Structure 1
Amino acid sequence: MGTVAKKRGSARLRVLVQLLVAVLIAPAALMLAGTATAAAHPYDRFREDWVPAPGGVGHIKVRMWLANNGSNKAVYLLDGLRATNDVSGWEHETNAAWLSDHGVNVIMPVGGESSFYADWYAPNNFTNQPYTYKWESFLTQNLPNHLAARYGIDRSSNAVVGLSMGGNAALILAAHHRDKFRFAGAMSGYLNLSAPGMREAIRIAMLDAGRFNADAMWGPPWDPAWLRHDPLVQAERLRGLPMWISAGSGLPGPHNQPVTPIDYFNTATGMGLEALSLANTRSFEVQLAIMGIGAHYDYPPVGTHSWPYWQDQLWRMLPMLKASIGA
């Protein structure tokens, strides 16, 4: 009986020791597991910086998601005409932050409503704007320098991608700064600003989106600045640059599910805007073909001027984007 009691006591001791070990080790294991899981989530690699900017604005907010593998390659995502000052439409409306799970630093500058991401001549006098937009200088000087110094992101091997207004800007920034960008993506852009009525249409759109004066941006319609910012006119500067150019047909598709009157209004507006973009994009394609300049074009059979379709395009272009910048 004494031997049996000893064995039972020894067994109890072993169980007690195992429980004690479990109590001590389990929290550490859970903490490590939690860290590993968190590291896989883009918002655990999220940063927000206020970057010094020219033009009297002081600083511009930039929200970013660092690549999961420590890559030093990045994509700058440019917003549309109605960009807001809180977060980029790319963050608010899409899952673009998850690109950082694929070895690309995702950079979203915030703000720039109706700016075309250009260096303006003067402040917007219609709203008594106290500073002058200097977005081109910011995106090609201040921001790359900041990202390189703080995060080790390459100054010269990145991608720039935008939709609508941002699509124009992506091509123009890449055209004039080939030392900064190795890939450009333009979704639903207006790529033929010299087409009849386009400059007037841009002027009206800017008034509607924030009461901005196009004269403060590029001067009157005959000013050379309009030609400098017209992707079709600047096509030669895009030769040899990998480009993803897309526009939908304007026909409603699976992402259009209108229910309320405002839904139907927005769908109709998106149909018209996308049809105009498609016409501009086709003109751009023809001009580049005549000049022997290559690009990848994507024309889905359905799609309006709206975020879900741009999100689809962003993921479709990812393999080409990564290959182009070496990510």
Structure 2
Amino acid sequence: MKQLLLSLFVLIALNAAAANVDTVKTYSPSMKKEIKAVVVTPANYKEKSKFAVVYLLHGYSGNYANWVNSVPAIKALADQHQLIIVCPDGNYNSWYLDSPELPNSKYETYVAHELVKWIDGNYKTIADKKARAITGLSMGGHGALYLAFKHQDIFSVAGSMSGGVDIRPFPNNWDMTKLLGTYAAKPTNWDNASVINLTNLLTPNSLALIVQCGTEDFFYKVNVALHEKLTYQNIPHTFIANPGAHNWKYWADAIHYQLVFIKANLKE
């Protein structure tokens, strides 16, 4: 009986100390609709005055709940690194762009401006780019770098895991023609939407950058190309190429590296 009571006490204590997971409804004025997000706050959220924030983006065909359901460890990581982690819904194929073809798909505006404003207004955040980071997987890896490159006044640290950092080699994939038109008919849309073409927006140390991709990933070559271009342009960044494919096993491991890097480069 004593052992049972002790076990129950330990279980209650562990649950009491666990990070909190909220599913919230945000509002996008640009798209005139509610959009859900998961917000993970550290266990000591009530005791501490303010926290840095990491925006963590899902991949193609995913949703706001993917990360917390597929990698429950992010709750412990929010505690470990003392971060608020926000997982927005980017629709199944928004690529986190303001689509030139679909006027009602404005996920660049939503994540970089509307969501950030909502989170800062509803949570105890350090509402400054120095304490705000963004990363993601696959479509979300593209989205994180795309948004950070274009909105350096909003984010100071950016990462990518298995990111689609150049979409032009994949003109018939992932419903992107709905967002951009066909590559044959509208190549400029595709050029403007590819992260690898946005490095001219960067100056040395304007963003702390970490790019990671598995060597068996179909996006591996475009990630190596981005790394080589950043190196040629003397843009400091961390590039990790390690064994792995385009799957949750890889991303569950990669998020640990990403958050260590992010935490080290945020200024709280």
TM > 0.5: yes
Corresponding residue SS for 1:106 = strand
Q: Does 1:182 align with 2:146?
A: no
Contact 1:54 1:137 in 2 (8 A): no
Contact 2:135 2:160 in 1 (8 A): yes
* Alignment-derived partner of residue 134 in structure 1: 106
Contact 2:214 2:241 in 1 (8 A): yes
Deviation at 1:144, TM superposition (A): 1.2
Point out the structure with max Rg over C-alpha: 1
Corresponding residue SS for 1:232 = helix
Deviation at 1:88, TM superposition (A): 2.7
Q: 1:136-186 deviations in whole A, cap 9, x for unaligned?
A: 111111111111111132342311111111111110100011111111111
Corresponding residue SS for 2:197 = coil
Q: Does 1:204 align with 2:181?
A: no
Q: 2:231 and 2:202 mapped to 1: Cα distance?
A: 12
- Structure 2 matches for 1:315-326, cutoff 5 A? 315-326=256-267
Corresponding residue SS for 2:37 = strand
- Percent identical pairs in the alignment equals 24
Deviation at 1:219, TM superposition (A): 3.4
* Alignment-derived partner of residue 3 in structure 2: none
* Alignment-derived partner of residue 247 in structure 1: 213
Q: 2:214 and 2:11 mapped to 1: Cα distance?
A: 42
Q: 1:48-70 deviations in whole A, cap 9, x for unaligned?
A: 21101144451100111113443
Letter in 2 for 1:183: V
Q: 1:61 and 1:114 mapped to 2: Cα distance?
A: 15
- Alpha-carbon RMSD: 2.5
Q: 1:72 and 1:225 mapped to 2: Cα distance?
A: 37
- Which of the residues 249, 252, 255 maps onto 1:308? 249
Contact 1:249 1:304 in 2 (8 A): yes
Letter in 1 for 2:26: V
* Alignment-derived partner of residue 100 in structure 1: 78
Q: 2:222 and 2:145 mapped to 1: Cα distance?
A: 14
Q: 2:202 and 2:256 mapped to 1: Cα distance?
A: 23
Q: Does 1:217 align with 2:153?
A: no
* Alignment-derived partner of residue 286 in structure 1: 228
Q: Does 1:172 align with 2:113?
A: no
**Structure 1 portions without partners, runs of 5+:** 1-31, 124-130, 208-212, 251-273
Corresponding residue SS for 2:219 = helix
Contact 1:64 1:106 in 2 (8 A): yes
Q: 1:102-159 deviations in whole A, cap 9, x for unaligned?
A: 2010101124111101111344xxxxxxx82211111111111111111132342311
Structure 2 vs 1, CA of residues 324 and 68 (structure 1 numbering), >3 Å: closer, same or farther?
farther
Deviation at 1:314, TM superposition (A): 0.7
Q: 1:325 and 1:225 mapped to 2: Cα distance?
A: 33
* TM-score of the aligned structures, taking structure 2 as reference length: 0.84
How many matched pairs? 251
* Alignment-derived partner of residue 238 in structure 1: 202
* Alignment-derived partner of residue 113 in structure 1: 92
* Alignment-derived partner of residue 163 in structure 1: 137
* TM-score of the aligned structures, taking structure 1 as reference length: 0.70
* Alignment-derived partner of residue 6 in structure 2: none
Worse-superposed segment, 105-114 or 48-57? 48-57
**Structure 2 portions without partners, runs of 5+:** 1-8
Q: 1:250-292 deviations in whole A, cap 9, x for unaligned?
A: 1xxxxxxxxxxxxxxxxxxxxxxx1x31111111111111111
Q: 1:73-113 deviations in whole A, cap 9, x for unaligned?
A: 111111111114xx432122112232211201010112411
* Alignment-derived partner of residue 61 in structure 1: 36
Q: Does 1:228 align with 2:192?
A: yes
* Alignment-derived partner of residue 147 in structure 1: 119
Q: Per residue, is there more strand in 1 or in 2?
A: 2
Q: 2:144 and 2:15 mapped to 1: Cα distance?
A: 32
Corresponding residue SS for 1:159 = strand
Contact 1:99 1:106 in 2 (8 A): no
Contact 2:60 2:95 in 1 (8 A): yes
